[in-house]
Structure 1
Amino acid sequence: MVGFPSSDPDGPLYHKGWYHIFYQYNPDSAVWGNITWGHAVSRDLIHWLLLPLALVPDRWYDVNGVWTGSATRHPDGNIYMLYTGSTGNLTQVQNLAHPADPSDPLLLNWVKNPANPVLLPPPGIGPKDFRDPTTAWLGPDGLWRVAIGSRMEKLGITLVYKTRDFLSYELLDHYLHSVPGTGMWECVDFFPVAVNGTKGLDTSAAGEGIKHVLKASLDDTKLDHFAVGTYDPVEDLWTPDDPKNDVGIGLKYDYGRYYASKTFYDQEKQRRILWGWINETDTEFDDLKKGWASLQTIPRTVVLDGRTGADLLQWPVEEIESLRLRSYCFEDVLVGPGSVVPLHIGSATQLDIMAEFEVELISGKKTDEENSCDGGAAERSSLGPFGILALADASLSELTSVFFRPVQTSADAVTTYFCTDQTRSSLAPDVFKVVYGSSIPVVGDEKLQMRVLVDHSIVESFGQGGRRVISSRVYPTKAIYGDARLFLFNNATDVNVKVKLKIWEMNSAFIRPYPLDQL
């Protein structure tokens, strides 16, 4: 939900470390009033130490829940935490909190401002349609801007407020942006990206060579959509570069199970990092049995795709590579039409897989095939599908397919799809099993490439350097622990596929309580 570098330059343990605030839910009650904020610290964004609760619903303005918020670090060193509270009559209001001791490297204690709530729903906005403030950015007039998601009937909108001190606010008389038919926008995010280059930008960056990304989580569909566009900091207006790919009707961060994401800027490594939430797709009974529910994806860096100019490239943070153990290399593995090839690496429950595919296209032939991802991995066509079978058992009774499907639409044109098929991922009956995917741009002479992170019940797949991402929740019953295997497959009818792979076994990250008695 919220992440930022540790604020204390002389902190004894987490100097240049990370601080993360997240939802924590009381499973003994089904009311939103049990939403609180937990928090944790980390040196590397991978291993986390849990701290006591940060904020709990104990005031009239948040008695029904401490909801999504964002942190803004002021140049003077102060941290301003704006968050949505749900009142006793379920009105959504915005509240301000700050660390009780900004010099505490763990930021253990937080104080709610006595002026709360600092923002109420404005006229014309429903009391339940006003939530999730963004990180603030500094405008050319020296005032901070904060965006908040809302709606007017089915019109999804982004409200913008100006503030100098995070206590008093002025609502702009126009929206930052709106899109008809998209419904309530929540967990809005707004940040700059460099047109050229591989580094992230501070949230307040503006000027030449910079585009801005506007993202909204659509409450109606539970999908995270973004668009790249141009921001006018004087008029406080954002315009999409491509209206056909506007927020809510075009590109998604993730084409699988993914929602309520948030980015923040890492000034130490000059990168923008994306967090995303993935909920369960099995039953509540299963959640109670295992004692936990929902998780976050591996943190991802985000940059503008320099080759398309319209897409974002998402990639696992480099720190994930510290979990790599033994590696396996496979060169030029030939996978014939209709075949499956086992990759003998032993247990395959925790893996980092890099795969590159070469196919022989049919010169001068139009296949007349309209297949996309919808038919899944079993529906064959001339050029695909082909890819990997993760979390599979030896008999292939359970498997999760991650694949490409090229479709040769003319003698010189090929449309490629990047997909994940969960329909055979589990023999358990009460599990949501679908096919996810999207078309994926393949530019120039690029080879088809995927990176797949496998971790027991989650498969995160990155196509073409992160131009498309698909996260899947799967619950195998046989392909678990030492019985999980990895395969290549090719269901094309007319082409061979040559595959190059590097695979790492992955260690486990630790998540455990911070030893507060050692402070």
Structure 2
Amino acid sequence: MGYESIPGPMYYKGWYHLFYQYNPDAAVWGNITWGHSVSKDLINWLDLPFAMVPDHWYDINGVWTGSSTLLSNGSIVMIYTGSTNQSVQVQNVAFPANLSDPLLVDWVKYSGNPVLTPPPGIGVKDFRDPTTALQVSDKWQIVIGSRFNTTGIALVYETTDFLSYKLLDGLLHEVPTTGMWECVDFYPVSTTAANGLDTSVNGPGVKHVLKASLDDTKKDYYALGTYDSDTNTWTPDDPELDVGIGIRYDYGKYYASKTFYDQNKKRRILWSWIGETDSETADIKKGWSGVQGIPRVVTFDQKTKTNILQWPVQEVESLRHSSVEFDKIQVEAGSIIPLDVGTTTQLDITADLEIDAKAFEETTEADVIYNCSTSNGAAGRGALGPFGLLVLADESRSEQTAIYFYVAKGTDGHLKTFFCTDKSRSSKADDVGKEVYGSIVPVLGSEKLTMRILVDHSITEAFAQGGRTCITSRVYPTKAIDGAARLFLFNNATQTSVSVTSLKIWQMKSASIHPYPL
């Protein structure tokens, strides 16, 4: 089954998660339904029966992505996109059948659905994925993704009862050449505190994140900006880093993401669907396709002031069960160091690294046009990189996934640091993606280079500099599995040694995910 997340709010001291699923070998998307599950810690989950299935003319071709809004009276409203019997994308509303049920097993679709149809000038297949509602004065507003020709746009609708809606004049925002915007998200972040903010918060000390999943490229972009609730417009801080042309949430396999606010711990949590990069034939054979990434906490980067930070929720640390720690390992240029840490298929790794200061001084210029995706990956050798870790590697390293830094230096002394994941040798299988992912990561002043890597059999999630740049990868090792998987430090630079000042590696237990015994 394939999965795409529709996170719900925290409810009755537990987490409620909806996701849509479909059969990957289905000829049409009419098999899409909403499954749902519950959790008390965002890590261990109980599967519940289907929440919604395509059983009305307004969603018979699929119950698609939507969002939940938790109202002040404790009730919940769900707005979702349905694909009609004429394949028109419309917006529908559903409510819990019984608010006293802590599991919210049953849902009732509004008898007056659909509540919204595509407005004039919008294509019938270009109108989807409503956001969580934000409250402006005594009204609620939702944002819906769309496009005009090749310009990605965000429409804003206003409501008081979630049953009738008014399309507001103008657009929240638009960016030419970015194509269809789907799974739009819009939320505030505090510029002065580390806590998250409720979706409706605005005012001094607040920036707003606008995010869109680009249908043309299947990548998630975001930008920071200012929201004017009087004109219902959002303006990016830096037009060169606008939605779809600037910063990505994640430079690997990461799509259709959505945030929600945890009112108990006062944090904003980001979830995403991690699709496969193997063949459809392989997916059908194994009987499932797609996973949810580890939930991440989103905060404003108060040091750079130009980006957000993403970090795994603290609850993931409950899966740690033993650790090994290393101090002051010197990794010379061109060397590889095996790490004896036992089983390495499920790990949580943190590492602090420093480049030899003398190498910086003696290197006048290095790789000023470097790019992770067009490079030779971990096999390429530059003066100041690459260096990092080889995960999910077998003893001979015929299979390995390299996660590393690469530093470029201009003649003016300016440094650019790249964070990359190289999958080119991740598997002996010939029907899997073997890309090199990555991008620049801001490194300020005398900061050490830091990374955290979560490894789980066939997926890695890597975070550089506290989550300024993130890379998620689906990998499919055939030899580096179970007890045959190994872990290595490596430094393929030509002119610098690397000092690993701190390296801690935790073994991780599997999360508990099983059907709820109803």
Same-fold call, TM cutoff 0.5? yes
Q: 2:370 aligns to what?
A: 371
Report the RMSD for the aligned CA atoms in angstroms.
1.0
TM normalised by structure 2 equals 0.97
Paired residues of 1:420 and 1:470 also in contact (CA < 8 A): yes
1:299 aligns with 2:286: no
Task: Look up the equivalent residue of 2:409 and give its one-letter code.
Answer: Q
Aligned to 1:391: 392
The one-letter amino acid paired with 1:367 is E
Cα deviation for residue 26 of structure 1 reads: 3.1
Match of 1:322 in 2: 318
Aligned residue in 2 for 1:230:
226
SS in 1 for 2:240: helix
Note if contact 2:152-2:179 (Cα within 8 Å) is conserved in structure 1: yes
Match of 1:7 among 4, 8, 11: 11
Alpha-carbon contact 1:63-1:86 (below 8 Å) kept: yes
Once the two structures are superposed, the pairs formed by residues 33-432 of structure 1 within 5 Å of their partners are 33-140=30-137, 142-360=138-356, 361-363=359-361, 365-369=363-367, 370-373=369-372, 374-375=374-375, 376-410=377-411, 412-432=413-433
Give the corresponding residue for 1:13: none
- What amino acid is aligned across from residue 371 of structure 2 in structure 1? S
The 8 Å contact of residues 7 and 103 in structure 1, kept in 2 or not, is answered as no
Matched, 1:487 2:491: no
Q: Which letter maps to 2:105?
A: L
Deviation at residue 410 of structure 1 after TM alignment? 2.9
In the TM superposition, residue 445 of structure 1 has moved relative to its aligned partner by 1.2
Secondary structure at 1:75 match in 2? coil
Matched, 1:30 2:13: no
Once the 2 structures are TM-superposed, how far is the Cα of residue 29 of structure 1 from its aligned partner?
2.4
Deviations, residues 245-270 of structure 1 (Å, cap 9, x unaligned) = 00000000000001000000000000
Indicate whether 1:443 and 2:444 are aligned: yes
1:332–1:498 CA contact under 8 A, matched in 2: yes
Give the residue type in structure 2 aligned to 1:61.
Answer: Y
Deviations 1:176-200 (A, max 9, x none): 0000000100000000000111100
Residue deviations 1:463-511 (CA, integer Å, cap 9, x gap) = 0000000000000000000000000000000111011200000000011
Maintained 8 Å contact 1:350/1:455: yes
Distance change in 2, residues 1:246/1:6 (3 Å): closer
- The answer for unaligned runs of 5 or more in structure 1 is 9-15
Secondary structure of the corresponding residue to residue 33 of structure 1: helix
Which whole-Å deviations, capped at 9, do the CAs of 1:299-331 have from their partners, x for residues lacking one? 000001001111110000000000001100010
- Change in Cα spacing, 1:27 to 1:405, as seen in structure 2 (3 Å) is closer
Contact 1:49 1:513 in 2 (8 A): yes
Q: Output the amino acid matched with 2:240.
A: K
CA deviation vs aligned residue, 1:141-194 (integer Å, no higher than 9, x gap): x11000000000001000000000001111011000000000100000000000
- What is the aligned partner in structure 2 of residue 11 from structure 1? none
Query: C-alpha distance in 2, partners of 1:343/1:472?
Result: 22
Q: Give the letter for the 2:116 counterpart.
A: L
Provide the rounded CA distance (Å) in 2 between the counterparts of 1:348 and 1:258: 23
Q: CA deviation at 1:368?
A: 4.2
The answer to whether the Cα contact below 8 Å between 1:7 and 1:102 also exists between their aligned partners in 2 is: no
Q: So what's the TM-score if we normalise by structure 1? A: 0.97
| 1:510 equivalent among 499, 509, 512 | 512
Residue 28 of structure 1: how far off its partner (Å): 5.7
Instruction: Verify the 8 A CA contact 2:408 2:416 in the aligned structure 1.
Output: yes
Residue identity opposite 2:505 in structure 1: I
Please say if residues 349 and 455 of structure 1, whose CA atoms lie closer than 8 Å, have aligned partners that are also in contact: yes
Percent identity, please: 61
Separation (CA, whole Å) in 1 of partners of 2:81 and 2:291:
21
Q: Distance in 1 between matches of 2:263 and 2:411?
A: 47
The answer to whether the 8 A contact 2:54-2:60 is kept is yes
CA contact (8 A) 2:300 2:309 kept: yes
Which secondary structure state, in structure 1, belongs to the residue aligned with residue 26 of structure 2? Answer: coil
Task: Tell me by how many angstroms 1:27 deviates.
Answer: 4.6
Secondary structure in structure 2 of the residue aligned to 1:285 = helix
Structure 1 residue 6, shift from structure 2 partner: 4.2
User: 5+ unaligned residues in a row in structure 2: which ranges?
Assistant: none
* Structure 1 position 364, deviation (Å): 5.6
